[in-house]
Amino acid sequence: MRKVVNKNNIYLSMYDQIQKSKKEEFKRTLYISVLCALVGLICGFGTAAFNYLINFFYNLLFFGRISFYGSNATDFISRWGKFVVFVPAVAIMISNFISHKSAPEARGHGVPEVMVAISEDGGKIRPIVGFIKMVVSAVTIGGGGSVGREGPIVQIGASFGSTIAQIFHLSQRETIILTAAGTAGGLGAVFNAPIGGVMFAIELIIPEISIMTVMPLVVSSVGSIFVIRVLFGPDPQFVIPVYTMVSNYELLIHILLGVLCGLLSVGFIKTNIEINRYINSVKIPYIFKSLIGGTLVGCAGYLSLKEYGRYYLLGTGADFMEFVLSNGASSIIMLLIIIGLKFLTTSITLGSGGSGGIFTPAIYLGCALGGVVGIIANFLFPGEVGHVAAYAIVGMCGMLSGVTGAVFTSIILLFEMTRNYEVMLPLMLSAVISNFVSRLIYSETIFTYGLVENGYHIVFNKRISSFTSISVKEAMKTNFVFVNPSDTIEKVLVIMRENNLSVLPVIEKDNIVIGTVSYRELYKAKDSKDSSEIKNLVKCQTITIPSTADLSEALEVMHMADSDCLVVKENGKNIGVLTPNRIIRKGLEKRGSL
């Protein structure tokens, strides 16, 4: 027995190994951050390429010309006249055909696919997915599909990060970090909002928050923003007027707006669900679904042109938001019609096989809803409330929060767009109230409802484990039972029965912990060796842990030792014993008191 103990003493204890690995993790973080800087640069150039590709298909499909310049399909009247209704049909058909043949996961709005890759596949995404997603989304958006750029670039960035991780043969955890870093870099680049990109990855993508994860996300986002600002300048995606809150009583109106955003969010999610289900239930070839759905989207866009002079319902709808944010909207009827048609066009675009993001449609709807509330508020309280654009800004935040479930991301993104601290109070109110109302009515977000239907249950609870804030000394049992290696099998079995224990620590004289002995091993040997000593049945291992360690570290030691029992040491003395049951009970007790 003494020989085994000496052998264990040669090496670091399992607890010491854990502490050493934590120090080495910081060094590893630097290496991962360097790779994430590369991911960020690639995301920046990828976002730029994506924008140019959208412009290319916009010019080709709407005007029959070859050009990489121009913003989106709503800027000018198409040369095709009434036949413009077929442009989205052709675009969605091409998009659906390419993704169907090459990468089915490139369909839809992109974020749920990244969530599945993180939770089920260790962050691994096929390299071809990023390229296919870029092409099919550019075709859809450039051809007037009623979706946004954010979801695609999130999936594209995630694909870039995952590919880099696979090239360098990183571990599963590190692969997840690089994949998440790609989403941070991608979203940050699209909105020219570095903090928003990081917050999105933290809130919805990465399952862990620590310096190991946050630092790479920041590096990636900064890298992508650097590229975007060199190429396109520092301006955000939307030019939003300076926000002013005329009276503190306006917060009451913003609370009401938050509630309305929550209700509208549920309606939007439910509309997406039902339209997708209906389209999937129709038994016709997918190409015909794309053509029919795309034509309906085109008709809505043409109707908008005839009534309001612009294709407000085609493409990202940036010009509609600019119209409202410049205080150009004055008709409640117009905004309500736009909201209803946007529900349909976005749902049909995605349901019939198009590829694009949901962020911009959510912001679009919030802008319209905020405009409605702003017009009514100014009518009821003229000169006592802010302008219509102010309510549109708050509505954008509330709707984005309610639809996606990304509360902090919504607040930070809209704050970075306005760059005005005065907007924070109504933004925060609108975001949290909208999310609360929408989750109260319907528990799933636009990202998770499809995942749940397919059997994926992804948890976004990022609370820091209470285990890290509890020392083992707080949870240990001081009055504990142990045995000596010289005790007989019969004696130890009696001790186990009397104390209802299945495993006991084995401790020699001088407080030397040998390991553990289990009831199973003793029971197997009891018939022929009742009077024999247990020393040959002891599982020799280092199961000690200092009293200053926390419960999270204790669980790691238990895992490494494959033991359900740890002996707590303080000043060289054995002062207690720790079991999984004690850890769980103390953790739940701590959590319940918070």
pLDDT tens-place string over residues 376-424: 999 999 888 888 988 999 999 999 999 999 999 999 998 888 777 778 8
- 3 state SS of 281: helix
The CATH number assigned to the domain with range 23-232 reads 1.10.3080.10
The confidence score (pLDDT) of residue 565 equals 85
What pLDDT digit, counting tens, does each position of 25-68 carry? 777 888 899 999 999 999 999 999 999 999 999 999 998 888 88
What pLDDT digit, counting tens, does each position of 112-122 carry? 888 888 888 88
Contacts of 230 (CB under 8 A, 6+ apart): none
Report residue 488: phi and psi, to 5°. -85, 160
The mean per-residue pLDDT over the stretch 188-195 comes to: 89
Contacts of 10 (CB under 8 A, 6+ apart): none
Q: Given this chain, do its domains 23-232 and 466-592 carry the same CATH topology?
A: no
CA distances from 439 to 160, 206, 434, 449 (A): 32, 21, 9, 12
Spatial contact of 582 and 475, defined as CB atoms under 8 Å apart: yes
Is 74 a residue whose pLDDT tops 50?
no
User: Per mean pLDDT, which of 7-11, 231-235, 440-444 is the most reliable?
Assistant: 440-444
Q: Which of 532, 504, 530, 498 is nearest to 517 (CA)?
A: 504
Per the structure block, which two tokens stand in for 68?
Answer: 């990489």
At position 353, the amino acid (one-letter code) is G
The confidence score (pLDDT) of residue 591 equals 65
Q: What is the pTM of this model?
A: 0.81
| Dihedral sign for Cα atoms in the order 445, 446, 447, 452 | positive
Which top CATH class is 466-592? alpha beta
Spatial contact of 122 and 323, defined as CB atoms under 8 Å apart: no
Q: Assess if CATH 3.40.50.300 describes domain 250-453.
A: no
* Residue 576 per-residue DSSP state: E
Per the structure block, which two tokens stand in for 199?
Answer: 């917050």
Hey, where are the domains in the chain? Answer: 23-232, 250-453, 466-592
